[in-house]
Structure 1
Amino acid sequence: MSLPQTEKTPTPSVVIAKMNPPSAAPKNVIFKKTTPDKSIAVYTGKRDFIDHVTHTDLVDGVLVLDTGYIKDRKVYCRLLCSFRYGREDVDVCGLKFRRDLYETTLQVYPPPSGEKPKPQTKLQERLVKKFGDKAYPFHFQFPDYLPCSITLQLGPNEIDKCCGVDFQISAFCAKTLNIDMKISKRSSVFMVIRKMQYAPDKPIFQPVAKITRQFLMSDKPLHLEASLNKEIFYHGEPVEVSVEVINHSTKTVKKIKVTADQIISVVLYSHDKYIQNVAEEEMDEQVTPGSTLKKIYTLYPIIANNREKHGMALDGKIRDQDTNLASTTILKEGIDHEVWGILVSYRVKVKLVVSGMLGDVLFSDVAVELPFLLMQPKPLSESLDDDDDIQFEDFDQGGPMAVTEDLKEGAESLFKSSNACH
């Protein structure tokens, strides 16, 4: 029997992402969105809200109102989570491929009588101090059963809205809140937000898998063992797969294929499951009877190598910002899977192609699977500093634009204004 040797595969001809260390969260940046008629402005301290499994970040902000223009109308704020699975313009037997998973609406102005005001967060205190009696705080708490933001990638020639789960905050004026109410587009505004999960602090499992296969007319077996260097990988990191093959059988291993797969489970409507290959290494490795192979294969499960694949699950995106492959879904114990809409997991699969009874005519496969987590690293948190300025950012789907007083209806502009408060 030959002595085992450990070697690494050469770097493949794919795009390799550089892994940057966790960065600090943007400090003292306030996001703003205004109605076309300027009667309502929504201010919030972030657009990414973290699901910590045990709880989710509070959605807090303020509405700055032109009460003279609003007059006797009421102002409402709404948090909406929607699941879209199919084109919005398709109606099959009255079935719309969109479902609102969660909706809650609260009256912000005038403040409901008899309700005790909730304690203000530090962000709200700063904004109320700046805008005075024009500022009205709002709070939303995510229920623990809501999914995270996720998008299914469209094909290169598709221009329809993406399938997936999305969240938005909206504010609008209305005489009263009922099913027949009419909402003016000029007096309404919405802001897309994301619900995200970060990698857990502690390891969950150690990815190691073994299999022993006994072949017909072979006295001794074939052993396959595969392992990963760790169980949690950040987006952009290479995945190293250690493979050991000990061949005591009379068969010859003709080929070794190592893949990283994204497993998408659509559990709300149809319980469909899709497996997408996100990285692979396939080598014509010969492991003859009585020999041993040890090798490390390197996979790169990154969005840059998968942009043309239809149906690939991505983390939810805001407008034209770039994103990455969808993070692994981590569920709180006891939560119903179906309400999450789309579940995402990852695995590494190592497959040996072994010669069959007729030599090269028939082949058999020997395979093992290794689950792993692909997630965002936790950023270095930054608290709002009373001594620092607040910078306001307005957003637009069309990209950077100059500061202007006349934003077109329904648009968001992306610029950092010179407005600052102490």
Structure 2
Amino acid sequence: MANTIKVFHKTAPNGRVSCYLSRRDFVETRDQIEPVDGVVVVSNDYLKGRSIFAQVRVTYQFGQEEDEILGNYYHKEVDLVRKKVYPSSESCKPTEIQDRLIARLGSNAYPFTVSLPANSPESVTLEPGGKDKLIGVTYDLRLYAANNEEEEAHKRNTVNFNVRKIRIVNMKTKNHHSQVNVYKTFLMPPGHLDIEVSLNKDIYYHGQQIDGAFFINNKSKKIVKYAKCEVVQHLECTMNNYFFSQTVANLDTHEGFPVVPGTDNQKSFRLVALASTLNNRLGIALDGRYRDEDVNLPSSTLTSPEQDLNDTMGVLVSYSVRVTFNCGSIGGNVSVEVPFRLVHSPCPEEKKMLKRTQSVESYSEDGIVFEDFTRLRRGQSISDGTSYA
């Protein structure tokens, strides 16, 4: 029995150009960015001397049009890739999926492969709600017919895919224990708090439980009433130097509280940061669109030693665990933050966790399943094209 391969299908408005993709994500590993490959099908006698081109456009959107000040534009589009895919001068061997598609679709089916340049920014989006435009970094893959590379694409003969660029990390280095100590002093009346917050490691995969602990020794005259534990998402928009933070998981604990003067309290806690558990995703950075079923929190931004963060375009993402101790209306709050990294795992367990129910359009004995590529992404994405069910 043939292995089942899911392929995403979309057709241009004029019905003369169709495209089939085996995956919807550009996946970056430690060594390379895996390309997106597929097959384009053109109707008989449609090209008439023209060619089929592939284009990858990245859109940077920071703020809305009404927020423009003194010519400071918040919208920028950059073409990262533009290449001729048919007729192609490249002699690349078709993949197994492309061979099956060509055998299924006939002689008008032509294979293509599109790769991204190194250091391309990862997909990060924020939906502000209402009629405001999407904020962040988004990618579009377009295939269209044109006479030459400089000619702009026409909507009627263009197949447009909303794709993503994500990073999968296989951390071979040792995972270190993270710990932050804080010595908080008070002047009136004199005294101090000794606080220690720790995490069992500094790198977590999406969906993993974040295990931490805190210890507080009260050597002041204040009364510590309770503690609040949070996973905080920090974002930096490099195009306008805008910084902001949002809480993506939280837990209030009253066990062992209040901590009166001369006593201490030690407690473990557990948090899970997942987009699927958020009651309200508006204002939270995601790696896809708000209504996508397979959307997730974006991974932490990782850079190579030779890469300068000041030259990075896009949205820089980082995470930390924040523990806040409430010392009353006069004493105020004391916060301690421990940074960590959140990344995608190459393990099959996470891919299985990210899988969702899918609607199948058609099926045949050659093992190919076609699914319409809609604007709203549905179902498994990261492992599409990398593993067969």
Name the TM-score class by shorter chain. 0.7 to 0.9
Q: Are the aligned partners of 1:85 and 1:164 in contact in 2 as well (CA < 8 Å)?
A: yes
Q: Bigger CA drift: 69-78 or 217-226?
A: 217-226
Q: Deviations over 1:236-282 (max 9, x none)?
A: 44433311112344544344232221101111x21111011223334
- Aligned-residue offset at 1:340: 3.5
Tell me the secondary structure at the aligned position of residue 313 of structure 1: coil
Separation in 2, partners of 1:234, 1:379: 10
Matched, 1:391 2:369: yes
Quote the Cα distance in structure 2 between the aligned partners of 1:48 and 1:371.
28
Separation (CA, whole Å) in 2 of partners of 1:60 and 1:398: 20
Structure 2 Cα separation of the partners of residues 347 and 319 of structure 1: 26
Aligned to 2:387: none
- Aligned CA distance change for structure 1 residues 307 and 87 (closer, same or farther; 3 Å): farther
**Counterparts in 2 of 1:309-328, with a 5 A limit?**
310-317=282-289, 320-328=292-300
Q: Does 1:193 align with 2:163?
A: yes
Aligned counterpart, 2:21: 44
Asked if the contact 1:39–1:70 (Cα under 8 Å) also holds between the matched residues in 2, the reply is no
Residue 298 of structure 1: aligned partner: 270
Displacement after TM superposition at 1:138 (Å):
1.9
8 Å contact kept, 1:314–1:327: no
Query: Structure 2 matches for 1:152-191, cutoff 5 A?
Result: 152-155=126-129, 158-178=130-150, 181=151, 183-191=153-161
Distance 1:221 1:153 in 2: 43
Aligned CA distance change for structure 1 residues 71 and 231 (closer, same or farther; 3 Å): same
Partner of 1:374: 342
Cα gap change, 1:177 to 1:334, in 2 (>3 Å): same
Say whether 1:143 aligns with 2:120: no
Residues 1:258 and 2:229 are matched in the alignment: yes
Deviation at 1:232, TM superposition (A): 3.6
2:209 matched to 1:241? no
Secondary structure in 2 matching 1:287: coil
CA contact (8 A) 2:27 2:33 kept: yes
**Distance change (3 Å), C-alpha of 1:91 and 1:176:** farther
Give the 3-state SS of the residue equivalent to 2:46 in structure 1.
helix
Q: Is the 8 A contact 2:60 2:77 kept in 1?
A: yes
TM-score normalised according to structure 1 size: 0.74
**Distance in 1 (alpha carbons) for counterparts of 2:65 and 2:20:** 29
Rg larger in structure: 1
The farther-off stretch of 61-70 and 370-379 is 370-379
TM-aligned CA deviation for residue 320 of structure 1:
4.1
For structure 1, which segment, 181-190 or 297-306, has the greater mean C-alpha deviation from structure 2 after superposition? 297-306
- Asked whether the 8 Å contact 2:231–2:321 carries over to 1, the reply is yes
**Where does structure 1 lack aligned partners over 5 or more consecutive residues?**
1-25, 355-359, 401-422
Aligned to 2:179: 208
Q: Does 1:123 align with 2:94?
A: no
Q: 1:38, CA displacement in angstroms? A: 2.4
Structure 2: unaligned runs, 5 residues or longer = 353-364, 379-389
Deviations 1:313-336 (A, max 9, x none): 111239743523333222233223
Seen in structure 2, the aligned counterparts of structure 1 residues 208 and 93 have a Cα distance that, compared at 3 Å, is closer
Q: 1:309, CA displacement in angstroms?
A: 5.8
Secondary structure of the 1:64 match is strand
**What letter matches 1:277 in structure 2?**
T
CA positional deviation for 1:215:
4.6
Question: Which residue does 2:250 correspond to in 1?
Answer: 280
Q: 1:288 to 1:195 in 2, by over 3 A?
A: same
Secondary structure, counterpart of 2:286 in structure 1: strand
Cα deviation 1:207-237 (Å, max 9, x = unaligned): 2222234554889753211112343444444
Q: Cα 1:116–1:146, aligned 2, differ >3 Å: closer, same or farther?
A: closer
Q: For residues 250 and 51 of structure 1, what CA distance do their matches in structure 2 show?
A: 53
> What residue in structure 1 maps to residue 59 of structure 2?
82
In the alignment, which residue of structure 2 is the partner of 1:105?
A: 82
Give the aligned CA root-mean-square deviation in angstroms. Answer: 3.2
Between 1:32-41 and 1:81-90, the stretch displaced more is 81-90
Q: State the match for 1:53 in structure 2.
A: 30
Q: CA deviation at 1:151?
A: 1.0
Is the partner of 2:141 in helix, strand or coil? strand
Measure, in 2, the Cα distance between the counterparts of 1:40 and 1:257. Answer: 55
TM (norm. structure 2) is: 0.80
Count of residues in correspondence between the two structures: 358
| Distance (Å, rounded) in 1 between the aligned partners of 2:213 and 2:300 | 22
**Contact persistence 1:319–1:397 (CA under 8 A):** no
DSSP 3-state at the match of 1:70 = coil
